Amino acid sequence: MSKIIHFVHQSVDGFIEGPNGEFDWPMMGSELGTYSRGLSDEVDAFLYGRVVWSFMASYWPKAEEISTDEHDLKFAPRWREKRKFVVSRTLERADWNTTVVPGPEELGKLKEQPGNDMVLFGGSDLAASLTEHGLIDEYQVFVHPVVLGGGRPTFLTPAARFDLRLAESRTFDDKVVLLRYER
């Protein structure tokens, strides 16, 4: 069986974006960038919900034209080459080696097949739905040294309480703390 890893940047006060949708605060230093690219290389596919997919698809295909950031320049080719899945009931098709999956049930069937290890980048709605369906195996929460004072919470209210096991904690670039939990 394949596994799904939820990779998410959050503020100290538990938000993935600020009150006005800001996402300009994650600090991708060299250590965190290296770790992120290593994880990207290990998995078979990237996983997104429709909203995050729209952002990613508008940025990564032309990242070299927009950014001079070292992480962006190194990650962009990986993003374009990697298989991707988008969970959406409204999106009919997606470019860039991407398959649209209509819902968590169908994603669960993909997960049952070997060779479909996936990393879910961000997206609290999809993460909540996949958590509710018991499909996320590991949570990698990267806590950044910023307080946003509101916005979109990292974790939407789960349908039921569940326990996690701390598998690792680690600091990157003397700023960002990884809390890696397994189900």
Q: What pTM was estimated for this model as a whole? A: 0.94
- Alpha helices for 60-159 (secondary structure H): 63-66, 70-81, 104-111, 124-132
Please give the pLDDT value at position 123: 81
> Which candidate, 119, 124, 117, 113, places its Cα nearest to that of 16?
124
For 30, the token pair is: 């060299």
How deeply is 174 buried, as exposed, middle or buried, from its count of CB atoms within 10 A (0-12, 13-18, 19+)? exposed
| pLDDT tens profile 115-149 | 999 999 978 899 999 999 999 999 999 999 999 99
How confident is the model over 152-181, as a mean pLDDT? 91
Domain ranges of the chain: 43-145+160-170
Average pLDDT, the chain: 94
| pLDDT tens profile 44-75 | 999 999 999 999 999 999 999 999 998 899 99
159 pLDDT above the threshold of 80: no
158 pLDDT above the threshold of 70: no
Contacts of residue 84, defined as CB under 8 A and 6 or more positions apart, other chains included, come to 45, 46, 47, 48, 53, 94, 96, 97, 98, 99
% of the chain exceeding 70 in pLDDT = 99
Pick the CATH number of 43-145+160-170 from 3.40.430.10, 3.30.160.340, 3.30.420.40, 3.30.505.10: 3.40.430.10
For 111, the token pair is: 């997960």
CA gap 80, 36 in Å, rounded = 15
